[in-house]
Amino acid sequence: MQFHSSLTQFERLPLTTDPTPEPNPDEAEIDKESLDVPQIRQSNGTLASTEGVNSLGQRANSVTVQKSEELRQVMLAHRHERQLVILQDFPDPDALSSAWAYQLIAQQYDIKCEIVYAGTLSHQENIALVKLTGLPAIRCSVAALKSKDLSFYQGYTLIDNQGTTSGLVPIVQQAGIPLMAVIDHHNLQGDLKSEFIDIRPTVRATATIFTQYLQAGLLPLDNSINQHVKCATALMHGLRSDTNLLMQAKEEDFMAAGYLSRFYDAQLLSAVLQANRSKRVMDVIERSLKNRIVQNNFSIAGVGYLRYDDRDAIPQAADFLVTEENVHTAVVYGIVHDEDEELEVVVGSLRTTKLTLDPDEFIKEAFGQDSSGRFFGGGRTSAGGFEIPMGFLSGSNENSAYAKMKWEVFDTQIKQKLLRLVNPKDNPIQPE
């Protein structure tokens, strides 16, 4: 699941490695007939093997090679087809960049992929990433997908999610479109029936997984190809954002960043990171400061009603609150109104610096599941989020007194569920 963004100015962190070595002329010549389809190769041109795609441990190498080969076989079996690549409703840089890498890999097998998401890009860095790199992701609302002829698609793929954070997934499922691949780094969210699955919670970013695919030869990057440079730049941004500027990165993530440093455009990445926050985002941060309560080093803030396009202001406010002295965890939430769908949903984000707090477990325990067994939220290391549909109570906010009363009910209920875990001895709802 994906609830990442950063308020703070990213520091430029150039990473350098030795140049890609030239292929060894003494190596055995590859059978020319095998060049009809892409081969799994390392960055130096040699065939990949379990002896090591890079300098990671043998187990990580083996997983990378195995999964890369499995994905290659799946791609071969679906040549010349058309797919939907579905992201979470509000995709972050990790999801956007990984989906682009998947699309470029699929192109080698004449598989046409459309990268879609149901929500919006409201975080200034996400908007800048798409605009400055030309990243081919498009918004496709639930209503738009319902009206679309889905018979053109032979499959769909989930990148950086497992279908629990996208309103588009139920539609493609109802249309009978088969799930071709799930590639994600979050904890397993449920039973998945897919032709290819690569879920690795021990890796800090899905961009790391895709970079390993590139290193294994599914798509040899070329500095002379502008699209490759821009995709590498996007992957670097996705990797850094999901690892908190590499501060929470593991060895695999560092190695992936080192590989990408050969191809990414540092100036382009800097331009993406320098995107300014909008006034509306600053207003939401101000509201979170005004409304926050701090208890047992938790900062909890409800920010009221937000427009759909301002949804990403919530995780940015959580990023800001967690920097306060004596606060290790911040939770910010609000009611987001989707005018297109005439729906309202409670959206919240959690940020933590406490190593012993698992955002995934905390959010799942706090808010539980719906009637179908689907959790209202989850997370990863240091971050998490939740979305709670308001159902019958959605809309009808023309009466300001009613809208205020509705917010107070949800605000109180969410605080009660959170404070029950933060301090079980306290009752946030005081009796009369």
Q: To the nearest 10°, the Cα dihedral for 38, 42, 46, 52?
A: -130
Per-residue pLDDT of the chain (432 residues; tens, 9 = 90+): 443 433 333 333 343 344 444 444 444 443 433 434 455 444 444 444 434 444 445 666 788 899 999 999 999 999 999 999 999 998 999 999 999 999 999 999 999 999 999 988 878 889 889 999 999 999 999 999 999 999 999 999 999 999 988 999 999 999 999 999 999 998 888 788 999 999 999 899 999 999 999 999 999 999 999 999 999 999 999 999 999 888 889 999 999 999 999 999 999 999 898 877 778 888 999 999 999 999 999 999 999 999 888 888 999 899 999 999 999 999 999 999 876 666 789 999 999 999 899 999 999 999 998 887 888 888 877 889 998 888 888 777 777 888 899 999 999 999 999 999 998 765 545 444
d(CA 423, CA 106): 50
pLDDT the model gives residue 340? 62
User: What pLDDT shows up at residue 412?
Assistant: 95
Long-range contacts made by residues 29-35, C-beta under 8 angstroms, separation at least 24?
none
Domain range summary for the chain, segments of one domain joined by +: 61-272, 281-420
CB-CB contact of 160 with 137 (8 Å): no
Architecture of domain 61-272: Alpha-Beta Complex (3.90)
Whole-structure pTM value: 0.66
**Spatial CB neighbours of 252, under 8 Å, sequence gap ≥ 6:** 56, 60, 203, 204, 208, 212
Determine contact, residues 86/116, Cβ cutoff 8 Å: yes
Give residue 28's pLDDT: 42
Q: Where are the beta strands (DSSP E) in 328-408?
A: 329-338, 343-352, 377-380, 383-389
User: Nearest to residue 217, comparing CAs of 75, 377, 117?
Assistant: 75
Three-state secondary structure of 243-280? CCCCCCCCHHHHHHHHHHCCCCCHHHHHHHHCCCCCHH
Phi, psi (degrees; rounded to nearest 5) at 227: -65, -35
> Which strands, in side-by-side order, build the sheet including 343-352?
293-295, 298-307, 329-338, 343-352, 383-389, 377-380
Whole-angstrom distance, CA of residue 404 vs CA of residue 70: 53
- Predicted confidence at residue 168, as pLDDT, reads 95
Class of domain 281-420: alpha beta
Residue matched to tokens 């706090």: 366
Task: Give me the DSSP letters along 162-198.
Answer: -STT-SSHHHHHHTTPPEEEEEE-SPP-S----SEEE
